[in-house]
Amino acid sequence: MTTRPGLRERKKAKTRRLLRQEALRLFVAQGYDHTTVEQICDAADVSPSTFFRYFPAKEDVVLMDDPGPFPEEPARAAGPVPPADDAVRTTLHDLLARRVGPDPDTTLARLRLAARVQPLRARLWQYQEAQVAHTAALLAWRAGRNAHAYEVRLSAAVLVAVTTETLMYWAERDGEPDLTALCARALDRLGGLGL
């Protein structure tokens, strides 16, 4: 059973969505380079300090995923460890689901913009470092391995890169083909990825 977020969390989520919505609207209307943080704030009726509480830089309004933890895992019970390929498959699905989030249309608009604007595309790859650490921890839990093991870290790095490239491919083709089909193709190519 999940609990509904409190009023404060709902208001923060609403402000975050509004800032992103207005930023994307302005980027489409006048171009990314010609849109300032001040213009985004004026459109959303918030101060620049509010903007920077949600997004450290203008690029982040496009690139930062909405906050939310990776899937929570309970403490591992004694018992057999699932096969490593199941851990890889489940983790890739989780990464894609987390990056797309509950609003695929907004995610598609963000990724289309990142695909067209070179500084955004370059910055997108910088986000991978933090994602690799989270992914390694999740893979390690699922495969019964140490998150610092070379094979786990390498597999995490590959999964994060595959997730980013899959999403960019999807965005460049306006949401086609279906992400589930792309995920299946990626898993076929990763058949030898072991832990």
Q: Give the tens place of pLDDT for each residue, 97-152.
A: 888 888 888 888 888 888 888 888 878 777 777 788 889 998 898 888 899 999 99
Place of tokens 């070179």: 118
Angle between the 84-100 and 150-172 helix axes, to the nearest 10 degrees? 40
Note the pTM of the prediction, 2 decimals. Answer: 0.70
Give per-residue pLDDT as tens, 29-54: 999 999 999 999 999 999 999 999 99
- % residues pLDDT > 70 (the chain): 86
> How many CA atoms lie within 13 Å of 73's alpha carbon, on the beta-carbon side?
18
Alpha-carbon distance of 154 to 152, in angstroms, equals 5
> Tokens standing for 54?
């949600």
